[in-house]
Amino acid sequence: MSKDKSEYLINRKDNQYEVVIGLEVHAQVTSESKLFSTSSTKFGAEPNTQVSLVDAALPGMLPVINEFCVKQAIKTGIGLKAKINKRSVFDRKNYFYADLPQGYQISQFKDPIVGEGKVILDMPEGQKEVGIERLHLEQDAGKSIHDLDPKNTFVDLNRSGVALMEIVSKPDLRSPDEVNAYVKKLRSIMRYLGTCDGNMQEGSLRADVNVSVRKKGSKEFGTRCEIKNVNSIKFMQMAIEYEANRQVDLIEDGQSIDQETRLFDTKKNETRSMRSKEDAHDYRYFPDPDLLPLEVSDDFIEKLKLEIPELPDEKKKRFIEKFKLSPYEATILVSDYETSNYFENVIKKSDVKLATNWIIGELFAALNQNNLEITESPISAGNLSKLINLIKDGTISGKIAKIVFEDMMEGDKDPKKIVEEKGLKQESDPKALEALIDKVIDDNREKATEYKSGKVKLFGFFVGQVMKVSAGKANPQLVNEILKKKL
C-alpha cells in the first residue's frame, strides 16, 4: 500500500512552510570480507559465526585495510561525480554500546575518502540536482537482539566490522517524493557499479534522516532533528511527514525546536526523542593510531575509472538519442541495470517501440502482480522479442498477443508454438474475411441500412461484430478496409 504523493501533507496552514531534508545513507559495501578483517560478510548466517578476533576486538588485534573495499568506495565516488581524495584518514569515533566491543567505531571524520559530488533526480517537474557533501568509509557495529528473551539482550557480532559507505547529502531535498527519488537513484547507481546491493530488507541500505522546516522564502534553515536508522523508503517518507508536521505545530505554538536525535516508531507512525543531539566533540574523534593515512595514487584512481560501466544518466541519454525513447520511458528502463539489459536484449531482434510498450506495460504489470524481479521474469528476453515479431509481421493482433503473453507467463514457452497449438493465428486471408463480413452484414441488415443513411458511428459496431465472430483473430486492418468497401 504505497501512499499517493498528494497524501503527504506537510504544508497544511496555507502552504506556508517548506520542509528541508538531508540524508546520511549507510550503504553496505559489496565485498566478501569485512573492512579490516577477513571474516565473511554473508547475510543470514548463524549468530556469531562470522567473527574474527579483530571483529570481536580482542586486545592486541590489529586492523588491516581491505583494498577491495577502498576500490568500491572510490568507484562509488566516481559514480557520484565526486572528488576523490588521494589522502584520507581513519578516525576513532568513541562511544559505548554492548554491540560495539571496541568501544569505538573506525570511521572517517575530517578527511573522508570522497568529497563533494552530485546526484541528478528525474522528478515529474523536471530534473533536480542534489549535492553530495562527502562519502566516507566506516565499520558497522554488531546487532543487539532484544526480542528473543524477556529478560536478556543478545549480541550478534556477524555485522561487526562490515564495511559501510556513509553518503552524506547536502540539505537539498524538499519533499518525501524527492527523498524517494534520491534513495532510488543512489541505489541504482551503486547497483550499476556493483558496490552495494541496496537490499533494504537485509539492512544493506539505511539512512539517518535530517529534517527541518522553515517559512517559505526564508533564506535560513530551521533547526533540524535527525531520525536515526530508517530502513525503508516508505518509513523515511512517513517519518518526514510526521516530523515536519510536529515541527510546524511547535513553531505555530510559539515554541522552538530542540536539535535532537529521534527514532521513528513504525507501529505508531510517529517519531520520538531518543536523546539531545550529540556533537562531534562528544565522540572524541582522533586518528586511529593502528592505521596509517590511506593514500591512493592518480594511477590507482585512473585504473578504477576504466572499470566504471555506463551509468543510468548516460544510458538514459543514449536510449533517448539512439532508440528515440521519451525521457519518461528511458528513465523507467534505465532505473535498474537488469531492466536496461533485458530491454537491450529484446530489441536486438525486434521493434523498439513495441518492445518499449510491452516491457513497460504488460511485462512490468505482470511481474508486479506476481511479485517478481525482472531477473526472475518467466518470459525471457528472447521469447518476448519473438512475440513482438509475431505482432509486427501480422501473424497475431495485439489483442491476441495478450492471450499468448499470459500463457508465456506460466512458463517460458515459445510464442510461435502457443499460437500454433491454440490456433491463434490472425486471419488475414481476404476471401475468408469477406465471407465473415458478409455474414455479419447479413445478420444486421437494419444497422447496415442505418449506416448507409449516415449513421457512421455504427462502423465500430460492425468491426466489433466481425472481431467477435472471428474470436478476435481477424486482422483488424483488413477488416476495416473490407468493411468500408462492403458497407
How far does CA 136 lie from the centroid of its chain? Answer: 22
* Options 95, 221, 286, 328; binder of ligand ADP; rule CB under 6 A: 221
Distance CA(276)–CA(257), nearest Å, equals 11
Number of residues that bind ligand ADP (CB under 6 A): 16
Least CB distance from residue 226 to ligand ADP, whole Å? 6
Segment interacting with ligand ADP (CB under 6 A) among 110-118, 218-226, 305-313, 460-468 = 218-226
Residues with Cβ within 8 Å of 356's Cβ and at least 6 positions away in sequence, in order, are: 323, 325, 329, 333, 343
Which residue lies nearest ligand ADP, judged by its C-beta?
22
* x/- letters, 141..170, toward ligand ADP (CB under 6 A): ---------------------------xxx
Residues with Cβ within 8 Å of 69's Cβ and at least 6 positions away in sequence, in order, are: 29, 31, 35, 137, 163
Alpha carbon distances (Å) from 225 to 71, 167, 218, 238, 358: 33, 18, 18, 15, 45
Distance CA(226)–CA(23), nearest Å, equals 9
Kind of pairing between the strands at 91-94 and 163-169: unpaired
Least CB distance from residue 133 to ligand ADP, whole Å? 6
Segment interacting with ligand ADP (CB under 6 A) among 101-109, 222-230, 310-318, 422-430 = 222-230
* x/- letters, 175..214, toward ligand ADP (CB under 6 A): -----------------------------------xxx--
**Interaction with ligand ADP in 224-283: which residues (CB under 6 A)?**
224, 226
* Options 8, 10, 17, 20; binder of ligand ADP; rule CB under 6 A: 20
Q: Tell me the Ramachandran region of residue 48: left when phi exceeds 0, alpha when psi lies from -120 to 50, beta otherwise.
A: left
Least CB distance from residue 164 to ligand ADP, whole Å? 14
User: Sign (positive/negative) of CA torsion 380, 382, 384, 390?
Assistant: negative
How does 154-188 read in b/e, with b if 16+ C-beta sit within 10 Å?
ebbbbbbbbbbbbbbbebbbebbbbbbbbbbbbbb
Which set of grid coordinates corresponds to residue 59?
586486545
Residue 260 or residue 450: which is nearer to ligand ADP going by CB? 260
Tell me the β-bridge partners of 210. Answer: 22, 226
Q: If DSSP codes are grouped into helix, strand and coil, which group holds residue 23?
A: strand
Does the protein bind ligand ADP through residue 136 (CB under 6 A)?
no
Least CB distance from residue 278 to ligand ADP, whole Å? 8
Segment interacting with ligand ADP (CB under 6 A) among 20-28, 291-299, 392-400, 451-459 = 20-28
* Options 10, 17, 22, 374; binder of ligand ADP; rule CB under 6 A: 22
Q: Which residues bind ligand ADP (CB under 6 A)?
A: 20-24, 168-171, 210-212, 221-222, 224, 226
